[in-house]
Amino acid sequence: MLSFFKDYKTFGIVFLILSIIIVTIIYNTLNVYQPLPVYQPAMVSTELVDSTIQYQKKYHKIADFKLINQNGKTITQNNYKDKIYVADFFFTTCQTICPIMTNHMTQIQDKIKNDDAVMLLSHTVTPEIDTVAQLKRYALEKGVMDAKWNLVTGDKKQIYELARKSYLAVKDFGDGGPFDMIHTENFMLIDKKRQIRGFYDGTNAEDIDKLLEDIEILKQEK
């Protein structure tokens, strides 16, 4: 009798090990590469999208731009050619969500500092305040690496249109002056084709982890 139970126990252990191996194989077989979505204006909340493109369902890309960074250097789409990058909107005097967003962007910078394929781009929503000198002070305070991360200012109309017609990321101020906007906590992941591949809460640590994982997924694309 004891021999029977001993044999049964051995069988049970072997069966359990085989089951684990089989389940692992099945999981790895089914867990194939899944590409990230390509976001279109029609997929995003209308309050973040300019009314002229709210129902667009395909062909959306980040428009050409020409802005000035923290070093007074002109930054255009060509600085991000063939790059994956993370974009956001902020302002240096913000005391609410911006410090958290900037700290998280700094964490991303630390992870990608040796990765030539990935960069960062932060647009001010108050260019009348965030001059080149102000952006430089902020960059030095936050440890911005010039080779990886551009903080940009420029024409307010252009920034507004980039925010709402390209990145689909900020709210219209409503009763404010022309091109006034309310930035959000959104981080946007942009691919080498200038397409939006993800939106993330820049104040949420778990979302930042997901963003870093998605960057690795995006790097697998041909």
| pLDDT-based confidence at residue 176 (cuts at 50, 70, 90) | low
DSSP per-residue codes, 20-57: HHHHHHHHHHH----PPP---GGGS-GGGS-TTTTT--
Residue 197's DSSP bridge partners are none
- Please tell me the total count of domains within the chain: 2
What pLDDT score does 5 carry? 45
pLDDT tops 50 at residue 27: no
- Residue 144, classified by CB atoms within 10 Å of its CB into exposed (0-12), middle (13-18) or buried (19+), is buried
**Same domain? 114 vs 19:** no
Give pLDDT tens digits for 97-154: 999 999 999 999 999 999 999 999 999 999 999 999 999 999 999 999 999 999 999 9
Query: What whole-number percentage of the chain has pLDDT above 90?
Result: 79
Instruction: Give the domain extent around 9.
Output: 1-32
Displacement of CA 169 from its chain's centroid (Å): 11
Instruction: Give every CB contact of residue 10 below 8 A, 6+ residues apart in sequence.
Output: none
Give pLDDT tens digits for 47-93: 999 999 999 999 999 999 999 999 999 999 999 999 999 999 999 99
**Same domain? 176 vs 121:** yes
**Same domain? 66 vs 161:** yes
